[in-house]
Structure 1
Amino acid sequence: MQEKSSRKRRFVLAAAAGVLLIGGAAGVAAATGVFDTEAPGAQQSTTPTQSPTPSEPAVPVAFTAEPADNAAEVNPASTPVLKVQNGTIESVSLAPKSGGGDVAGELSANDSEWTASEPLEFNTEYTFAFTLADTNGNTTKGSQTFHTVTPPNEANAFMAPMDKSVVGVGHPIEINFSEPVLNKPAVEAAITVTSTSAQTGAFYWISDTKARYRPETFWEPNSTVTVDMKLFGVDFGNSMIGNFNETRTFQVHNSRVAVVDNLTKTMQVFIDGQLTRSFPITLGDAEWPSPSGYQVVMSQHETLPFRAESIGLKPGDPAYYEPFDASWASRLTNSGVFVHQALPGALGALGVINVSHGCIGMSPEGAKYFYDTFEPGDLVQVLNTEVGPAAVWDGYGDWNMPWAEYSTQPKA
């Protein structure tokens, strides 16, 4: 209970004459009321009052309380406020109904307004209790309740790269939301991305639940990126409210780029712009051509089961292959393009012809070198396949979209 002073006084108590609820959306409206401390029949304290008889009848105390009485799904980031006219606030208590400490707040200099100074909790019923005094010092108590946003209306988000991770220069920021985001400008405004290289960037929405962020050009090597997500209380739309604040950082290591050329059937590896190794490769055949453009290493697996069914093939199809476990597999797209060790029967095709289903097949030495040298976020650039690049949604195909298009996506 927060009282405006420690002085002891005795007052004649009077009952509220009535309370009027005003408003539309739950949790936004205010409750207003009038306490008529001079009303006939008002209940008086059993303790005799020491206050002098007023020369004039006191003007009824009027108050406005937000959130409204019995409001539901109140945004916990909203600020409860109690305002009084024709009187003063003697004491205020805003606390969970089930028990717990009072919410901190501040009383105005003239004791006519109380404002909460800390956020509320999700899924909590609060009791807002207060004592008001009229101009003659007579006091009346009031109380109302409201309930904050419940779990079905909470919204969460999950970001990659992970906090404190180290990634390649091509790794975009990806944020997956637990609920569809209809109010995209508000969510974007609540997320701040900064880098030690001072690169600016833009968001691109793959869907209502998935957003990406990238700078105009690749991240500067050896830079640090910080993502500050202040989503607590942010309205995603459709009554879904963000439930957390979090700051994440990740490091960008040096530049590692593998250039794969279909004309020469080779992979050239460039570290910090310098050619370090070259390997023969095989790409997708005419029926299953490899996508061109930039692809980004997404994940890596020492061994990974490959099944023809995963790309829509069934036993009996001409392109069907028996199940096998690929060695030194580095994923490049969601649709199933990998850098991996070619099967023994395909080793003779390296540097000569294309025999894969779109993957980049390499020798055991080459695949192991790529697996050991490259990490998530590192780049593979595929040239001269005469096939379009991987789409922005297929893995991290963000770099295949022109910046002018990426940075000006409509957000409605």
Structure 2
Amino acid sequence: MRIAGLGVLALVLTACGGQSEQVAGVAQSVPNVVPAAKVSVVSQGSDQLSPRSPIVVKASDGTLQAVTVTNPQTGNTVKGDFSPDKLTWTSDDQLRYGATYQVVATAVNKEGKPVEQRSEVHTLTPKGVVTPTLLQPASNGTFGVGLIIGVKFDRDVPDKAAVEKSFKVTSSPEQGGGWYWVNKREAHFRPQSYWKAGSTVKLETTTFGQEISGGVYGGADVSATYKVHDSWIAKADGNTHQIQAFHNGELVKTAPTSMGKTDNTPPRGPTPTFNGTHTVLGKQAHMIMDSCTYGVCEGQPGYYKAPENWDVQISGDGEYLHENLATVSVQGSQNVSNGCLNMNTENAKWFFDNFNVGDVVEITNSGGPQLNINNGHGDWAIDWSAWQAGSALHG
């Protein structure tokens, strides 16, 4: 009786332990089964993945060991990073439109047994692409306080508000500002007043992969960082026939000048300089000025083709600060030029040496019309309230 009792006790203990089961009166061991690792790819087989969205690979019942994503059309490998727990891999490269990416992922379970998953990810193919370029290209140099930045597109933008939301401008120190759509393809940005000397300004677009309208998507993004140098502002008055230069607010130069003529003197009649705020667009030490570049060609009244020195361009249609020895006798007393601001050699060379892209030339009392925003960078001539109304978001 004592032996039989011990046998019953042993069977009860074994059953309570849960580590074996009785088969034909004999306890048998059952091994634990470790599940195989599983791999899943976000948007696998989808034709709708936006190229601005990452490819994401996930593991369950194990961890990722290796992930390779390749564009077979280009042979390029897509870069990406694992999460700290190795459960997720996320791409951090920019994808392409209309591409097929081959994904090869290996995961291991808790026993270290590997499993490989092969799949494809397809990015969407847009009906059209609107691609931006920079109005003011990036440069290793610096710019004046009148710097105008902006974005130009290679086709009309159907939804300007949606695109404007994707623009980002930051400045240090912070100065705010606003966008103004010049037309259906071009938008400019400026603060209410000139940039502060010494500022750093960064422009970025984030339209890539964004649907603009009806299946049309944004093209490759652009960005640039601009450094603003000291404040250089010239003030030219058509009544006094003088041009003054201010460096960081201090008057450092006054010179006589001759602006564009406003009377009907033959052979061309009035050629007044534009009123308003101009900015320097570029400069050349020596150039041939040819009136045919704006429609007055050889054989027509008023045609000229002459070498000019120390040329600082301030408008798109050919206004310059430059040397003109033929008008020295009336510089400071009469406006007789074809629209440029004429000076003698010494003064023209001084402005050439000190004024650079983005520096400001404010012209008053010239007798001419207001400088247009499309004529170079006439943006500063627009009243701030009107500028704000030119935004697709706030107009």
2:100 paired with 1:125: yes
Q: 2:291 aligns with which of 308, 311, 318?
A: 308
2:337 to 356, 360, 363: 356
Cα deviation 1:40-76 (Å, max 9, x = unaligned): xxxxxxxxxx999xxxxxxxxxx9973655x38x531
Return the alpha-carbon distance in structure 2 between the equivalents of residues 279 and 396 of structure 1: 24
User: Secondary structure of 1:354's partner?
Assistant: coil
2:267 equivalent to 1:283: no
Conserved in 2, the CA contact under 8 Å of 1:186 and 1:234?
A: no
Partner of 2:318: 336
CA RMSD of aligned residues (A): 3.8
Q: Kindly state the Cα deviation for residue 125 of structure 1 after the two structures are TM-superposed.
A: 2.0
Query: Match of 1:403?
Result: 384
The unaligned stretches of length 5 or more in structure 2 are: 1-30, 34-39, 107-114, 263-269
Query: Contact conserved, 2:41 with 2:55, CA < 8 A, in 1?
Result: no
- Give the AA of the match of 2:260: G
CA shift digits 1:197-254 (9 cap, x unpaired): 31000111223332211000001122222334444433454624332464x3222222
Q: Which residue in 1 is equivalent to 2:247?
A: 271
Distance in 1 of aligned mates of 2:336 and 2:280 = 22
Q: 1: CA distance between counterparts of 2:180 and 2:254? A: 35
1:389 aligns with 2:364: no
Aligned partner of residue 389 in structure 2, secondary structure = coil
How much does 1:362 deviate?
0.9
In the superposition, the TM-score normalised over structure 1's length comes to: 0.69
Alpha-carbon distance change, 362 to 149 in structure 1, aligned in 2, over 3 angstroms: farther
1:183 is matched with which residue? 159
Aligned to 1:77: 52
Matched-pair contact (CA < 8 Å) for 1:75–1:241? no
- Structure (1 or 2) with the greater helix fraction: 2
181-190 or 218-227, which moves further after superposition? Answer: 181-190
**Secondary structure at the residue paired with 2:163?**
helix
How far does residue 143 in structure 1 lie from its aligned partner after superposition? 4.9
Distance 1:103 1:153 in 2: 25
Q: So what's the TM-score if we normalise by structure 2?
A: 0.72
Q: Deviations over 1:331-376 (max 9, x none)?
A: 11111111111142x2222122221111111111111111011111
For the pair 1:252 / 2:228, whether they are aligned, the reply is: yes
1:125–1:148 Cα contact (<8 Å) kept: no
Structure 1 pair 117/277, CA: closer, same or farther in 2 (3 Å)? closer
Alignment counterpart, residue 168 of structure 1, candidates 144, 148, 173: 144
Kept in 2: contact 1:280–1:351 (CA 8 A)? yes
- Give yes or no for contact 2:142–2:226 (8 Å, CA) kept in 1: yes
Task: Give the distance between the partners of 1:80 and 1:341, measured in 2 at CA.
Answer: 61
| 8 Å contact from structure 1 (residues 306, 326) kept in 2 | yes
Which position in structure 2 is the counterpart of 1:325?
A: 307
Letter of the structure 2 residue corresponding to residue 257 of structure 1: I
Change (3 A) 1:100 1:203: closer
* 382 and 100 in structure 1: CA distance in 2 versus 1, 3 angstrom threshold: closer
1:211–1:117 distance in 2 versus 1, CA, 3 Å: same
- 1:401 CA drift (Å): 0.4
CA deviations 1:113-154 (Å, max 9, x no partner) are x885434522532246899xxxxxxx9x88555255599847
Amino acid at match of 1:167: F
The 5 A counterparts of 1:52-67 are 66=43
Look up the SS of the partner of 1:243 in the other structure.
Answer: coil
| Contact kept in structure 2, 1:170 and 1:377, CA below 8 Å | yes
Aligned residues: 337
Cα offset, 1:188, TM superposition: 2.9
Give me the identity figure in percent.
25
Q: In 2, Cα distance between the equivalents of 1:103 and 1:387?
A: 58
Indicate the larger mover: 195-204 or 233-242: 233-242
Shift of 1:329: 0.7
Match 2:172 to one of 191, 196, 209: 196
The SS at the match of 2:246 is strand
The answer for the alignment partner of 1:19 in structure 2 is: none
- Measured after TM superposition, the shift of residue 295 of structure 1 is 0.7
The CA deviation at 1:266 is: 1.1
Distance 1:194 1:153, change over 3 A: closer
Q: Does the 8 A contact of 2:279 with 2:357 survive in 1?
A: yes
Aligned partners of 1:51, 1:102: CA distance in 2, in Å?
39
Say which is worse superposed, 266-275 or 287-296, in terms of deviation: 266-275
Distance change (3 Å), C-alpha of 1:255 and 1:51: closer
Q: Distance in 2 between matches of 1:326 and 1:263?
A: 25
Name the aligned partner's letter for residue 339 of structure 1.
Answer: L
User: What secondary structure, in the 3-state scheme, does the structure 1 residue paired with 2:260 have?
Assistant: coil
Q: Which amino acid aligns with 2:226?
A: F
d(CA) in 2 for partners of 1:399, 1:191 = 21
**Structure 1 segments (4+ residues) deviating >4 Å:** 79-83, 87-94, 99-107, 114-117, 128-131, 141-145, 147-152
